[in-house]
Amino acid sequence: MATTRAPLPRFPRDFLWGVSTSAHQIEGAADERGPSVWDAFTALPGTVKDSTTAAVACDHVRRYREDVALIRDLGVGAYRFSVSWPRVLPRGTGEVSERGLDFYDRLVDELCAAGVRPVPTLFHWDTPLAVAEAGGWLVRDTAHRFAEYAAVVAARIGDRVPKWITLNEPAEHTLLGHALGQHAPGQQLLFDALPAAHHQLLGHGLAVRALRAAGAGDIGVANSHGPTWAASDAAADREAADLYDVLLNRLFSDPLIAGRYPEVIAELLGAEVPDLDADLSTISEPIDWYGINFYQPTKVGAPLADAAATEFAGLTLPPELPFSPRPISGYPTTAFGWPVVPEALTELLLTLRDRYADRLPPLIITENGCSYDGLDDQERISYLDGHLRALHRALEAGVDVRGYFVWSLLDNFEWAEGFAQRFGLVHVDYATQRRTPKASYGWLRQELLAQNAPVPPLPEPGAAPPDPR
């Protein structure tokens, strides 16, 4: 049963509203692209909880017109999607797939015709398999191959794209894919995974330069962030929480925004990177805005005395880690078991403002959402309502936030969870591919109509990108 809620507070008239997806999670048509590291990973027994793959996923490549119509009818002004690197360059470098580029041409044209801003993300974890087999993000060469790929995409669709994202969540790709082995490429390197973080950041900086050389503007990145709460005031718990915060937050925001690594990271990388200062100069290439994917805070303490593998937020953490995440009680949880703490979003935004001051670019929430089952998803409405109010409180406190993207438009392939977790505003019946808007879709549509926020006009093909400020 629907709950009566007060209308959302008013956001700025030029505030950008959007929805997000990613290529591997929705596109399908795997036979029309090169293999990715996720294809190889999901082919291994036991890597995906329901033993599914994304070979078909939401069949978006064939149904993109229907999906764009859903975005248009929702009333948002922008669609954040990702470009599949192996769909454009089947081996990650060398020969370009015109068929792959043609798909993104059609998608961007369809969005523009619908009055929706296309916001492509260039990397959302689907490294071409040939690149992964040559060392992947653990080797420096991948950063250069990524920049070449960025230039190829910009050359084809850059005349119609007013806003770009280089990377999505390098923190998760490093932690889950390279340190813990629970995402592709399945490596369990723990702290030896740090080069994967560095090379993703280097690839970001090189891609920014490549995009600008191709005439693109309004470039950002999508990093996951969340407050880290110490389990207690004990010195050991505070020290463990500080280290976790460095690895999941400052390892990525410090070099991008401040041009430096946290001291502990700089020491660990010093032996791996011949000229760290030169790389940091590339990594901190100025960007126009900074994207934040927010889902939850994390409570962290010192390793427990009875060290054993720990189950946390769907992950299995090895006992040798120098910190131990703890459950956060007293809050509702999503179907994923994540705590719903809207005020942590306000806390995060104020922390970033205070930490980086005038170095901090304008912010955009590039992902925020939750997993719940059912079409009458009142829990998702409550989640979005609470987080939008928390975001508005940060705006009132003076934080420069210019947009908000819901994760996700569609239910989709949720990585190692398979199809078990449903984050979509739109339900997808994976057997028939039927799309059914949920209650949350209708609620958001009504709230956006109430906001009556005008959508900035799309640029004409070949026109200079708009000034983001």
Residue 468, pLDDT > 80, answer: no
Q: Where are the domains of the chain?
A: 16-451
Does residue 460 have a known ligand-binding role? no
CA distance 285 to 219: 11
Give phi and psi for 65, each to the nearest 5: -65, -40
Question: Alpha helices of 357-468 — where are they, by DSSP H?
Answer: 378-396, 439-451
Residue 177, pLDDT > 70, answer: yes
Could you read off the pLDDT of 355-400 as tens digits, one per residue? 999 999 999 999 999 999 999 999 999 999 999 999 999 999 999 9
What's residue 205's pLDDT? 98
> Quick one: tokens of 382?
């409550």
Could you read off the pLDDT of 114-123 as tens digits, one per residue? 999 999 999 9
Could you read off the pLDDT of 284-318 as tens digits, one per residue? 999 999 999 999 999 999 998 776 557 776 677 88
CA distance 116 to 455: 8
Does residue 25 have a known ligand-binding role? yes
What does DSSP assign to residue 257? I
> What's the gap between Cα 101 and its chain centre?
22
Indicate the pLDDT class of residue 145, thresholds 50, 70 and 90.
Answer: very high
Q: What is the mean pLDDT of residues 35-49?
A: 97
What's residue 320's pLDDT? 86
What does DSSP assign to residue 193? G
What's residue 318's pLDDT? 85
What does DSSP assign to residue 19? E
What's residue 432's pLDDT? 98
Residue carrying the six token digits 């470009």:
83
Give phi and psi for 438, each to the nearest 5: -90, 175
What's residue 458's pLDDT? 52
Does residue 415 have a known ligand-binding role? yes
Residue 391: which residues within 8 A CB-CB, separation 6 or more?
345, 346, 349, 365, 401, 404
CB atoms near residue 16 (< 10 Å): 23
Q: Are the C-beta atoms of 321 and 303 separated by less than 8 Å?
A: yes
Reported pTM? 0.95
Does residue 168 have a known ligand-binding role? yes
Mean pLDDT score of the chain: 94
> Quick one: tokens of 335?
């179907």
The DSSP result for 333-371, as a single string, is B-TT--B--THHHHHHHHHHHHHHGGGPPPEEEEE----
> What's the gap between Cα 198 and its chain centre?
17
Residue 454, pLDDT > 50, answer: no
CA distance 416 to 424: 17
> In 3D, which of 127, 111, 16, 117 has the Cα closest to residue 65?
111
> Quick one: tokens of 459?
């640029």
Catalytic residues: 169, 367
Helix (H, G, I), strand (E, B) or coil at 117: strand
Residue carrying the six token digits 């791996």:
272
Indicate the pLDDT class of residue 464, thresholds 50, 70 and 90.
Answer: very low
Q: What homologous superfamily does CATH list for 16-451? A: Glycosidases (3.20.20.80)
Strand partners, 223: 292
Q: Are the C-beta atoms of 436 and 424 separated by less than 8 Å?
A: no
Residue 102, pLDDT > 80, answer: yes
Residue 467, pLDDT > 50, answer: no
> Quick one: tokens of 282?
């590339």
What does DSSP assign to residue 140? T
Residue 319, pLDDT > 90, answer: no
Does residue 407 have a known ligand-binding role? yes
> Quick one: tokens of 405?
């993207």
Could you read off the pLDDT of 131-141 as tens digits, one per residue? 999 999 999 99
Residue 152, pLDDT > 60, answer: yes
What does DSSP assign to residue 136? G
The CA-based angle 337-340-341, given to 5 degrees, is 140
What's residue 460's pLDDT? 53
What's residue 70's pLDDT? 97
333-364 burial by CB neighbour count: b if 16+ within 10 A, else e? ebbbebbbbbebbbbbbbbbbeebeeebbbbb
What's residue 317's pLDDT? 80
What's residue 453's pLDDT? 53
